[in-house]
Amino acid sequence: MMRKLFCFFFAFILLVVSLPVSSADVPSVAYCIKPMHSDLIIEENNADEWLNVAGLTKLPAVLTLCLAFDKGLIDENAEVKVSANAAAIEGPSAYLSKGETIAAKELIRAAVMISAGDAIVALSEHAFGSADVFLNNIELTMRSVGIEKELPDCIATYMTFSCKELISLGEAAVESPTFMKYCTERYAVLEHANGRKTELASANKLLTTLPGCIGLFTGSSKNEGYCGVFACRRGEAVYLCSVIGAQNSKTRFETASKLFEEAFANYQYYTICDPNEPVLEGYPVDGGETDAVDLYAKEQYSLLMKKKGGEPQKRIDLPETLLAPLDPEHAVGSIAFYDADGTLLLEAALYPKEAVRANGFSEILKRLFRRFINE
């Protein structure tokens, strides 16, 4: 009897060991992390592959609504009447009732925090009038971030997205004041006109467990796994991370948290040009009404570099002396930054802070005379 039990146990072990590893055994099907507004991908896995993303298909619609608030097309205090169509939407819900009236700001809060489908539809009907018009605006939003897709409906049912596409949408969300106002909320209560209340609880646990997390959007389903696009800010550095198809909620957040911590630990931002600070002070000018001028970059420039790579090295391309006249709208030279291997990282044009007029004929004679006396 014992021999039979041993043989059965041994056979069972062999069967388990020989089973193929399924995608469910992989912590996440796909992920990607990158700095805000940078082409640098710090770490990725299947980041370009189009995959099912569960409730994240609603992100383009929610972002489009937030942009409408940002532009003043929707007044947050406007009263929105809920249609039968909106009230019947299934999935995550604000539990709206047909015919009830509710403030637009409450609906966008529910849309951002829990991707409430009824709130999304109610707002879209109020702001855009029809599903077709709303759909056209959603596709415009996606094209503005480089995503060319035709959607089957306003919540992109069964549409696939890549990790990189989700991050592109996430970058636009970070720049939307309306989106950022609500995506950082962990808990809120939506009050209906009849006194009924709906509790809204964000599924984004990173808001409380990851220092610097500022959102953004999560989704999950039994068949498509746990997905999310997240943003984290520490100091001037902002990173975005997307995860698709994690085995469970815990794995989704652990994957994102690990990617963020590794990025902050291994990379550093260097602000190398600030439009409010001179790059060079008192640069010499010849033939002008002033002998020197401060030089500035028009924009703020930052570099993200590995901490072990050292600080960027700069090279200035300017004549020894600038020749008047000078116009603050015309560059007089440039400054370039290189890594330790001599690879060009960034180049910025330099402009005089103010206009410098050339000397008149009489002033030229005076200067020549002074030089002659001094000699």
Could you read off the pLDDT of 54-113 as tens digits, one per residue?
999 999 999 999 999 999 999 999 999 999 999 999 889 999 999 999 999 999 999 999
Q: Which domain holds residue 328?
A: 274-374
Statement to judge: residues 154 and 67 lie in one domain: yes
Statement to judge: residues 145 and 253 lie in one domain: yes
Rounded CA separation 183/114 (Å): 9
- Whether residue 110 lies inside any domain: the answer is yes
Statement to judge: residues 132 and 175 lie in one domain: yes
Structure tokens given for 14: 């062999």
- Whether residue 9 lies inside any domain: the answer is no
Domain final residue pick, 219, 242, 270: 270
In the chain, the amino acid numbered 108 is I
CA distances from 347 to 17, 269, 343 (A): 56, 16, 11
Strands 280-286 and 322-323: parallel
Statement to judge: residues 226 and 119 lie in one domain: yes
Say what the pLDDT of residue 308 is. Answer: 79
Read off the pTM: 0.77
- Whether residue 283 lies inside any domain: the answer is yes
Domain final residue pick, 250, 270, 290: 270
Statement to judge: residues 163 and 292 lie in one domain: no
- Whether residue 17 lies inside any domain: the answer is no
Statement to judge: residues 207 and 314 lie in one domain: no
Say what the pLDDT of residue 193 is. Answer: 84
Q: Which residue has better confidence, 170 or 303?
A: 170
Q: Given a cut of 60, is residue 18 above it in pLDDT?
A: no
- Whether residue 10 lies inside any domain: the answer is no
Domain final residue pick, 204, 235, 270: 270
- Whether residue 260 lies inside any domain: the answer is yes
Statement to judge: residues 195 and 291 lie in one domain: no
- Whether residue 314 lies inside any domain: the answer is yes
pLDDT in tens, 329-359: 999 999 998 888 888 888 999 999 999 999 8
Contact 166, 240 (CB under 8 A): no
Q: What is the mean pLDDT of the chain?
A: 87
Map tokens 């796909």 to a residue.
30
CATH of the domain at 34: 3.40.710.10
| Count of C-beta atoms within a 10 Å radius of residue 102 | 22
Rounded CA separation 317/303 (Å): 19
Q: Tell me the HSE value of 142 on the side-chain side, using a 13 A CA sphere.
A: 24
Q: How confident is the model at residue 27 (pLDDT cuts 50, 70, 90)?
A: low
Q: Given a cut of 60, is residue 11 above it in pLDDT?
A: no
- Whether residue 8 lies inside any domain: the answer is no
**% the chain with pLDDT above 70:** 88
Statement to judge: residues 231 and 305 lie in one domain: no
Q: Cis peptide leading into 325, omega within 30 of 0?
A: yes
Statement to judge: residues 212 and 359 lie in one domain: no
Write the CB contacts of 3 (distance below 8 Å, at least 6 apart in sequence): none
pLDDT in tens, 68-85: 999 999 999 999 999 999
pLDDT in tens, 199-224: 999 999 999 999 999 999 999 988 88
Statement to judge: residues 258 and 302 lie in one domain: no
| Count of C-beta atoms within a 10 Å radius of residue 210 | 17
The residues with which 7 forms a beta bridge, in sequence order, are none
Statement to judge: residues 190 and 41 lie in one domain: yes
Write the CB contacts of 184 (distance below 8 Å, at least 6 apart in sequence): 207, 214, 215
Among residues 199, 184, 209, 203, the alpha carbon closest in space to that of 248 is found at 203
The total of structural domains in the chain comes to 2
CATH of the domain at 282: 2.60.410.10
Statement to judge: residues 129 and 251 lie in one domain: yes
